[in-house]
Structure 1
């Protein structure tokens, strides 16, 4: 069953334009001109229930516009969408209680004199969460986000990181079946980023939620997602597995090795040298030659450790952007 199905989805914006001068500014008061920006251009994809998919692309590619259409904030110019059987822009109550759109590191808002638990109980009332479900969901979120010591504290007394964790709990208290996560680790420090990644993975395992994740941090995508949808200039350029994308675009793999014998080595015999240290090196070797070269390195050098890696995802994705597609 498809949790999310988008068919021939398009969205364009009508924006005013004027000359960069006082005369142009005054003229635009009487004769305003507009131009059309095609933010999303005839895209189609489906995501199975319980699947966690990375939705990536450069700034202005159409990611956030797509999420807004899927969550019902925007009505598309063309195309259809089904999210667990609902048409998003009808904004039915049952639909709104089944999704969460989380943009950035969304801190807990509302009156700051309230305690965290007060805020969560207010959310319970808005989303009509039963007392039984509230207790269960709160217990799960408290464990996953380490909130035990925060529930009785006033919102104004929380640090930014603590407010971020409580904001996540607020967004997920009613246990939505679909999560649209738009840059959830943006601007966070390393410890907070790691917490959010672990939380997303754990939440999905526990609830079976369908997740569409956008992020400019490729580590987020590599850590959490097996499948990515790559959008650029409003069009989908790739939809498939991470490993398949690397195999398709990167003709070489990286061989990272350590060795005990530091005598001079002619690395050109084995591949392209990327970096070298006193007892370590990284080589770029064509995919079809990796088995042969790995065997040679192990037999001809005093290798103490050897790892075969895919090239960095940023490098692969950057190639797609530069070439304008696959």
Structure 2
């Protein structure tokens, strides 16, 4: 028997009904290893179309579904924090309401949690209609030392792909309000607290992008969050003064450059063309080549 785990799925009025249905089916119905429960966090009021889609997904689910309804829209950080408290299980998997999980996602990630990891992410493949980065891969670092080093500049985890131990998240202080960067801040605190971290390079989630995705990566609001994050990371001792200055220049500058240039930089720096990573996930599932527990414990000391 595999370790029971909860799927944490936040939904708010801006989500599309058809995307939600597809996300739910891929992450529950179609999984080789299904979650033990689904905890849907309804972040404020939603429209009738989305409500109907959610009800259909719940009624067709092969596993129990519980819905936590928040009276008002509180934002992603607080919605996830409320959801964590309501989950029935120690192990929690994240999913967004517009992405698609590949069928073997949890069959790959759960053995790594069982082997001793506190936080396991994975690669993603972007998809969308007529977007300049459609089909590109976002491949995270897999070596724990590299994960810790990369965290000093950017998030080493793709948030929609992660599976983690709730106790490790809460020990690090949980999700805290920081618009659009709450996940990166959480991951740095988990690393600093000694969490055992790991990534699967292979894309286990299809990440939906649209023509406005890279415009939303900039602007005054995100720049304010960026500067706030860099102050916090420095104050918490996670980054040095030199690293903080570098990050303000590099990451802050990225938020204010023209969208076309931002897209080009993102494509060249943070993604790889499809096909540059071998199709190893199926071999790992069939052959059981996940890291053994002793390997994960040794890597904790390296970090």
Q: Same fold (TM over 0.5)?
A: no
Relative to total residues, which structure has the larger strand share, 1 or 2?
Answer: 1
User: Which is higher, the Rg of structure 1 or of structure 2?
Assistant: 1
TM-score, with normalisation over the residues of structure 2? 0.29
Relative to total residues, which structure has the larger helix share, 1 or 2?
Answer: 2
